[in-house]
Amino acid sequence: RGDASESGRGAVGSGRVPRTPHERLLAGLFAEVLALGEHEVGADSDFFALGGHSLLATRLISRLRAVLGVELPLRALFETPTVAGLAAELGSADATSRPELRPAARRPGDPLPLSFGQRRLWFLYRLDGPSATYNMPLVLRLSGALDRDALRAALGDIVTRHETLRTVYAEGADGVPYPRVLDPADVGAVSDPRVVEAPGADVETLVAEAAGHRFDLAVEPPLRVTLFATGDEEHVLVLALHHIACDGWSLRPLSRDLATAYAARLAGRAPAWAPLPVTYADYAAWQGELLGDAADPRSLAARRLDHWRRALHGVPELLHLPTDRPRPAAASFRGDHFSFDVDAEMHAALVGLARSRGASLFMVLHAGLAALFTRLGAGSDIAVGTPVAGRTDAALDDLVGFFVNTLVLRADTSGDPTFAELLGRVRENALGAYANQDLPFEHLVEELNPVRSPAHHPLFQVMLALQNAPTGHFGLPGLRVRGVRVPTGTSRVDVTFSVEERRGADGCPAGLEAVVEYATDLYDRDTVADLAGRWVRLLSAAASAPETPISRLPVLAEEEHARLTRAGDGCRNAAARDITPAGFPALFAARVWECPDAVAVMCGEVELSYRELDERANRFARALAARGVGAEDVVALVLPRSVAWVVAVLGVLKTGAAYLPVDPAYPAERIAYLLDDARPALVIDDPAQVDDTADFPATDPDMPIDPAQAAYVIYTSGSTGRPKGVVVSHTGIASLVASQIDHLRLGVGSRVLQASSPSFDASFWDVCAALLSGAALVLAPVDDPLAGLRDARVTHATVPPSALAAVPEGTGTALETLIVAGEACPPELVARWAPGRRMINAYGPTETTVCATMSTPLDASVAGNPPMGQAIINARVYVLDAALRPVPPGVPGELYVAGPGLARGYLGRTALTAQRFVADPYTPANQPGTRMYRTGDLARTTRDGRLEYLGRADNQLKIRGYRIEPGEIETALTTHPAIAHAAV
Q: Which spans of this chain sit near Mg ion (rule: CB under 5 A)?
A: 822
CB of 952 to ligand AMP, least distance (A): 6
Residue 522 to residues 255, 321, 331, 657, 893, Cα–Cα distance (Å): 35, 10, 9, 55, 21
DSSP label at 861?
A: T
- Estimate to the nearest angstrom the gap between the alpha carbon of 784 and the chain centroid: 46
Return the one option of Mg ion, ligand AMP, none that residue 968 interacts with (CB less than 5 to 8 A, by type): none
CB of 572 to ligand AMP, least distance (A): 15
| CB closer to ligand AMP, 198 vs 912 | 912
Distance CA 714, CA 729 (A): 11
CB of 121 to ligand AMP, least distance (A): 47
Distance CA 905, CA 879 (A): 21
Please report which residue ranges of 267-317 form alpha helices under DSSP H.
280-291, 300-311
Return the one option of ligand AMP, Mg ion, none that residue 843 interacts with (CB less than 5 to 8 A, by type): ligand AMP
Supply angle C-alpha 925, 929, 935, rounded to 5: 105
| CB closer to ligand AMP, 52 vs 869 | 869
Return the one option of Mg ion, ligand AMP, none that residue 738 interacts with (CB less than 5 to 8 A, by type): none
Type of residue at 215: F
CB of 843 to ligand AMP, least distance (A): 4
| CB closer to ligand AMP, 521 vs 937 | 937
What are the φ and ψ backbone dihedral angles of 200, each rounded to 5 degrees? 70, 0
Return the one option of Mg ion, ligand AMP, none that residue 383 interacts with (CB less than 5 to 8 A, by type): none
Return the one option of ligand AMP, Mg ion, none that residue 368 interacts with (CB less than 5 to 8 A, by type): none
| CB closer to Mg ion, 822 vs 892 | 822
Cβ proximity of 537 and 561 under 8 Å: no
Return the one option of Mg ion, ligand AMP, none that residue 949 interacts with (CB less than 5 to 8 A, by type): ligand AMP
Residues, the chain: 984
CB of 954 to ligand AMP, least distance (A): 10
Return the one option of Mg ion, ligand AMP, none that residue 496 interacts with (CB less than 5 to 8 A, by type): none
Cβ proximity of 942 and 870 under 8 Å: no
CB of 379 to ligand AMP, least distance (A): 23
Cross-strand partners of 407: 386
3-class state of residue 616 by DSSP: helix
How many helices and strands in the chain, by DSSP H and E? 29, 37
CB of 963 to Mg ion, least distance (A): 8
| CB closer to ligand AMP, 365 vs 710 | 710
CB of 375 to ligand AMP, least distance (A): 25
| CB closer to ligand AMP, 190 vs 658 | 658
| CB closer to ligand AMP, 36 vs 932 | 932
- Of residues 240, 112, 108, 223, the one with CA closest to residue 161: 223
CB of 973 to ligand AMP, least distance (A): 17
- Of residues 255, 217, 196, the one with CA closest to residue 133: 217
Cβ proximity of 38 and 28 under 8 Å: yes
| CB closer to ligand AMP, 522 vs 907 | 907
3-class state of residue 491 by DSSP: coil
CB of 339 to ligand AMP, least distance (A): 41
Residue 865 to residues 801, 806, 836, Cα–Cα distance (Å): 12, 19, 19
CB of 245 to ligand AMP, least distance (A): 55
| CB closer to ligand AMP, 36 vs 824 | 824
Please list, residue by residue across 267-293, b when 16 or more beta carbons sit within 10 angstroms of its beta carbon and e when fewer do: eeeebeeeebbbbbbbbbbbbeebbee
For every residue of 38-81, DSSP letters joined together read GGG--TT-BTTTTT--HHHHHHHHHHHHHHH-EE--HHHHHHS-
CB of 761 to ligand AMP, least distance (A): 6
Return the one option of ligand AMP, Mg ion, none that residue 392 interacts with (CB less than 5 to 8 A, by type): none
Return the one option of ligand AMP, Mg ion, none that residue 841 interacts with (CB less than 5 to 8 A, by type): ligand AMP
Interface residues toward ligand AMP, by CB under 6 A? 716, 761, 821-824, 841-846, 935, 937, 949, 952, 958, 963
| CB closer to ligand AMP, 77 vs 839 | 839
CB of 685 to Mg ion, least distance (A): 25
CB of 813 to ligand AMP, least distance (A): 20
Distance CA 554, CA 372 (A): 9
| CB closer to ligand AMP, 135 vs 757 | 757
| CB closer to ligand AMP, 611 vs 958 | 958
Distance CA 898, CA 849 (A): 11
- Of residues 386, 387, 392, 217, the one with CA closest to residue 287: 392
Cross-strand partners of 139: 238, 484
| CB closer to ligand AMP, 642 vs 956 | 956
Distance CA 809, CA 811 (A): 6
Instruction: Give me the sign of the Cα torsion angle 814, 819, 821, 827.
Output: positive
Please list, residue by residue across 136-153, b when 16 or more beta carbons sit within 10 angstroms of its beta carbon and e when fewer do: bbbbbbbeeebbeebbbb
Cβ-in-10-Å burial (0-12, 13-18, 19+) of 881 comes to: middle
Cβ proximity of 82 and 44 under 8 Å: yes
Return the one option of ligand AMP, Mg ion, none that residue 963 interacts with (CB less than 5 to 8 A, by type): ligand AMP
Return the one option of ligand AMP, Mg ion, none that residue 214 interacts with (CB less than 5 to 8 A, by type): none
Cβ proximity of 637 and 652 under 8 Å: yes
- Estimate to the nearest angstrom the gap between the alpha carbon of 709 and the chain centroid: 44
3-class state of residue 777 by DSSP: strand
CB of 790 to Mg ion, least distance (A): 24
CB of 946 to ligand AMP, least distance (A): 14
Return the one option of ligand AMP, Mg ion, none that residue 935 interacts with (CB less than 5 to 8 A, by type): ligand AMP
Return the one option of Mg ion, ligand AMP, none that residue 689 interacts with (CB less than 5 to 8 A, by type): none
Distance CA 282, CA 249 (A): 18
| CB closer to ligand AMP, 677 vs 937 | 937
DSSP label at 3?
A: S
Cβ proximity of 843 and 868 under 8 Å: yes
| CB closer to ligand AMP, 382 vs 868 | 868
Distance CA 498, CA 511 (A): 14
Cβ proximity of 131 and 306 under 8 Å: no
Distance CA 304, CA 139 (A): 38
CB of 850 to Mg ion, least distance (A): 6
| CB closer to Mg ion, 217 vs 821 | 821
Cβ proximity of 567 and 897 under 8 Å: no
| CB closer to ligand AMP, 920 vs 937 | 937
Return the one option of Mg ion, ligand AMP, none that residue 584 interacts with (CB less than 5 to 8 A, by type): none
Return the one option of ligand AMP, Mg ion, none that residue 823 interacts with (CB less than 5 to 8 A, by type): ligand AMP
Return the one option of Mg ion, ligand AMP, none that residue 937 interacts with (CB less than 5 to 8 A, by type): ligand AMP
Please identify the residue of the shown chain whose CB is closest to the bound Mg ion: 822
Cβ proximity of 651 and 621 under 8 Å: yes
